[in-house]
Amino acid sequence: MPGTKANRNTRLLAVAILSSFVAFLDGSIVTVALPAIGTELGGGLITQQWTVNAYLLTLGALILLAGSLSDTFGRLRILRLGLLGFGAASLACALAWSPAVLIIARAVQGMAGALLVPGSLALITTAYRDEARARAIGQWTAWTGTAAIIGPLLGGVLVDWASWRWIFAVNVLPVTATLLLTSKLQDTGRLRRTSLDLPGALLAVAGLAGPVYALIEQERLGWADPAVVVPLVAGTAALVLFFLREARAPAPMMPLSLFRARNFRYGNLVTAAAYGAISLGSFAVTVFVQEAAGFSAIEAGFISLPLPVAMLLFSTYFGKLSGRYGPRLFMTAGPAICGAGFLLLLTVQPPVNLLTELLPGLLLFGVGLSVMVAPLTAAVLGALRGEEAGIGSAVNNAVSRVAGLVAVALVGTISGGALGYAGFRQTALATAGLFFAAAVIALLGIRNPKSASVGPSGQEPPGSSPQS
C-alpha cells in the first residue's frame, strides 16, 4: 500500500522533527533566562552555570548509550520514554523552588534529551532510502534549525512578560503533540540486540561530573578545599578508567578505533575547540548584555539572531563549496572569522552601543560558523566507512556537548567571577583564542579527500545544542 507507507513516513518525519525540535528549543531558550533565574533563586553565576551544565553533563555522557538503547529496545519505544521524561522534567524545572531542585531537574532533562536526538535521526534512516532520505534529513535540519531562531525570542518574551518558569512549561505542548503522533505508529524492522556499555556510561558521567563540579565550585571554595580536590581527582581517575575500558570492551560505547582515521581524529579536535568557544562566547554575551549592559531579555533574544540567521542563509552554500574544493580551507577560515568577531567585541564600553560595538562582531561570528559547520560535519563523517557513520556522528555530537560543558564550567575562572565589562572582555579574548586554536588544528591536521565530493550532512545547528 504505497499511500499507507507514504502517510506513515510523513508521520514518522513529523515525529522526528518535533522530538528534536523540543530538545533544541530548550537549549536555545534557556540562556536568555539565566539572569532572571539567578535573581529569583539566588546563587549568582554558579547557579547560572549549573542550570546550563547539569543538562549538558547528562546529555553529553549518555548520548552514545542512547543509540544502543534504541537499537536494542526499539526506536519509537525509547523515543516515547525520552518524551515522557523530558515533559516531566520540564514541569519540575518550571516548579523549582531552589537552585538545587532546578539543577536536579535539568540533569533529568538531559538524560531524557539524550534519548531524543539519536532516536529521531534513526527513525528517518530506517523509514527513507537514497534521495528520499537526503531530502528528509534536509527537512529535519531546516525545521529543527528554526529552534535556534525561535528559542531566544520566545524566551525573551516569556521572561519579560511572564516568568522564566514558562520557558520550561512551554515544552509540554510539543511533547504532548509528538506523543499523540506516535500513538498509531509501531517500530518496524528487526531489533539489533547489542551489549549495553553501562559501566562505560557510568564512568563517563563520573569522569565529567567530578572535574566540572570542581571547575565551577573552586571559584567559591578555592582549589585547596577537599570538596574541590576530591571530585577533581576522582573524576579524572574515572575518565582514565573510561578510556581504558573503551579500548578493551567487546562492545564499547565509544570505539577508539574510529580515531585512527586522520580527518575524524583532527575533526573532533576542531570540534572540541570550536564548540567550546561557541558555548563560552554565547553564554558570556547573553549574560553580559542583560546583567552589565542593561538590555532586556527580549533585546538579548534579538541580539542572538545573527548566528542562526547566518547559518540558515549560508550553510548550504558553503557546504557545496566544501564538497567541490574540500573541507580544509573552510574549516580553517570559519573559526578564524569567528575569532576575529570576538576580538571586535573587546571594544565594548559603557554604555554599550549595539550597532557599533556588538553587531559587527556577532555578524562575523555567525558568518564564520556558517563557513565551518557543514564542512566540519562532512570531514568527520566522510573519514569513516558507511556503517560507522551512525556511531561517528554520535561521538562527534558528544564531543561538542562535552566541550561546551567544560567551557561553561570555566566561565567563572576566566571572567574572574563576574561577567561585568572586564570579565566579559577576558571571556571574549579566551573565546577568540579557542577559535584561533581550532583554525590552526584544521590547517595542520585536516586533509582534503582526493576523489569523491563530500556534501553537508544533517547535523544540528550549533546554536541549538544543547547548550545546545
- Answer for the pair 287, 35: CB distance below 8 angstroms, yes or no: yes
Digit-coded pLDDT (tens) for 260-290: 889 999 999 999 999 999 989 988 998 898 8
Burial letters 94-119, b for 16+ CB under 10 A, else e: bebeebeebbbbbbbbbbbbbbbbbb
One-letter amino acid for residue 111 of the chain: M
- Answer for the pair 285, 299: CB distance below 8 angstroms, yes or no: no
How far apart (Å, rounded) are the C-alpha atoms in residues 70 and 67? Answer: 5
Digit-coded pLDDT (tens) for 16-55: 788 878 877 777 788 888 888 988 988 778 888 888 888 8
Whether residue 132 has pLDDT greater than 60: yes
- The arithmetic mean of pLDDT across residues 439-449, rounded, is 92
How far apart (Å, rounded) are the C-alpha atoms in residues 317 and 326? Answer: 13
Digit-coded pLDDT (tens) for 379-435: 887 777 755 666 777 788 778 888 888 888 888 889 887 788 999 999 999 999 999
Question: Which residue segments constitute the domains of the chain, with CATH numbers given?
Answer: 1-185 (1.20.1250.20), 198-250 (no CATH), 255-468 (1.20.1250.20)
**Model pTM score:** 0.80
How far apart (Å, rounded) are the C-alpha atoms in residues 308 and 297? Answer: 18
Task: Report the run of H or E that residue 97 belongs to, with start and end.
Answer: none
- Answer for the pair 399, 268: CB distance below 8 angstroms, yes or no: yes
Q: What is the pLDDT of residue 330?
A: 92
Q: What is the DSSP letter of 192?
A: -
- Integer CA distances (angstroms), 99 to 46, 172, 313, in order: 10, 22, 38
Digit-coded pLDDT (tens) for 194-252: 567 778 888 888 888 888 888 878 877 788 888 889 989 998 999 899 889 888 887 77
Residue tagged 590547517 (cell numbers): 443
